[in-house]
Amino acid sequence: MDDLALTAELHLDCVRGGGCCHGHRIQVTPWEIACLARAKGMPVIAFRDRHTTDGATFLLADGALDHRGLIGCGLFRDGVGCTVHAARPLACRMYPLGRRLIDGRAIYHHPGAQHGCYGICPDIETRPPRVVGEWLAEQGIHRGEIAHDAYGRLANGLLRQAVALIPDHQGRVDLVVEMRRRATLAPGVRAALFSSFWYNLVTAPPIDQVVDEPETFVYAHAERLLSAVADGMAGKESSAAPLLATIGMQLALVVGTRPEDVLTAIVILAA
Ligand code: SF4
Ligand code: SF4
């Protein structure tokens, strides 16, 4: 995984071969689910149930197979391409690059050992190379980055609050063990621990009226989650702690945090 200078030059001009719309798992934040639902003209919950999987953390790949036999994203159509192009998720906009935050600063990199397009859309090498920073500026990633970073902060805050809620008595060890167990679960299995009330609130909050403002959307989402806890919807403190931790784990996952890093954070916070 090599970090890229914004001045680096790479083959990045997409030849629209659709290679990256097949055989990949695309993570989606709740904000992206709301954007995609609007693009498809569907209610958010209906879109979530039809087009996402693994507890609404990934887009569902149920499209046609490509010439390599790889399954396509359900939002891809042969001859059309991406049917939600203007609303496509950050991961799609950035392909073949990845992104992570270091000290609050975005670093861009190749997620794999080599340029992800070369093996699947080799024609890209016939296009002139592009300056990374200029190409990124054309991909419309700014709003997606705002939402991702805000969800990253929210996930971190929820994990901290979860640990702070753990009562300081005999049951503490059991609760920490339970939270660590949940961190190792597959996202779909973990999401199945939510009641339908919490599943809807975590993945499809009823705030689509602010979907054009990603930071406002995530703040409103955080407020809805914390209000529900304050209203007693999470039950007693011993129930609220693993619930908040589970929400934090799901949100951390969709912004690219590795499960082992969530585990480490819980161990450090609970020490
Ligand atoms: S693999 Fe690369 S060139 Fe092919 S469609 Fe995706 S971004 Fe474009
Ligand atoms: S959302 Fe669009 S760009 Fe992204 S994988 Fe699906 S079809 Fe491709």
Amino acid at 141: I
This prediction has a pTM of 0.94
Q: 21 CA to middle of ligand 2, Å?
A: 5
Contacts of residue 4, defined as CB under 8 A and 6 or more positions apart, other chains included, come to 10, 97, 108, 109, 110, 132
Q: What is the DSSP string of 178-230?
A: HHHHHHTS-HHHHHTTS-HHHHHHHHS-S-GGGTT-HHHHHHHHHHHHHHHHH
Read off the DSSP letter of residue 108. E
Three-state secondary structure call for residue 10 = strand
Nearest CA to ligand 1 atom 6: 20
Amino acid at 131: V
Amino acid at 83: T
pLDDT one-digit tens code per residue, 70-90: 999 999 999 899 999 999 999
Task: Give the chain's length.
Answer: 271
Ligand sitting nearest the alpha carbon of 92: 2
Strand blocks (E) in the chain: 3-4, 9-10, 52-53, 58-59, 76-77, 81-82, 98-102, 105-109, 130-131
Name the band, by pLDDT with cuts 50, 70 and 90, for residue 234. confident
Read off the DSSP letter of residue 53. E
Query: Which of 16, 44, 2, 8 lies closest to 217 in space, CA to CA?
Result: 44
Nearest CA to ligand 2 atom 4: 92
pLDDT one-digit tens code per residue, 166-211: 877 667 788 888 888 999 999 999 999 999 999 999 999 999 999 9
Name the band, by pLDDT with cuts 50, 70 and 90, for residue 250. very high
pLDDT one-digit tens code per residue, 26-68: 999 999 999 999 999 999 999 999 999 999 999 999 999 998 9
Establish whether residue 76 lines the binding site of ligand 2, counting it when its CB lies within 6 angstroms of any ligand atom: yes
Ligand sitting nearest the alpha carbon of 36: 2
Name the band, by pLDDT with cuts 50, 70 and 90, for residue 1. low
Rounded Cα–Cα distance for residues 242 and 162 (Å): 7
Pairing relation of β-strands 105-109 and 3-4? antiparallel
Nearest CA to ligand 1 atom 8: 14
Supply 248's token pair.
């934090």
Phi, psi of 88 (to 5 degrees): -60, 150
**Pocket of ligand 1 from Cβ distances under 6 Å:** 14-20, 95-96, 117, 120-121, 124
Query: Which of 14, 9, 33 lies closest to 203 in space, CA to CA?
Result: 33
The ligand 1 atom nearest the CA atom of 121: 4
Q: Kindly report whether the peptide bond that precedes residue 96 is cis, defined as omega within 30 degrees of 0.
A: yes
Nearest CA to ligand 1 atom 3: 14
Rounded Cα–Cα distance for residues 6 and 107 (Å): 9
Domain residues of the chain, as ranges? 3-24+61-140, 143-270
Establish whether residue 35 lines the binding site of ligand 2, counting it when its CB lies within 6 angstroms of any ligand atom: no
Ligand sitting nearest the alpha carbon of 51: 2
Establish whether residue 92 lines the binding site of ligand 2, counting it when its CB lies within 6 angstroms of any ligand atom: yes
- Report the percent of the chain where pLDDT is more than 90: 68
Q: 76 CA to middle of ligand 2, Å?
A: 6
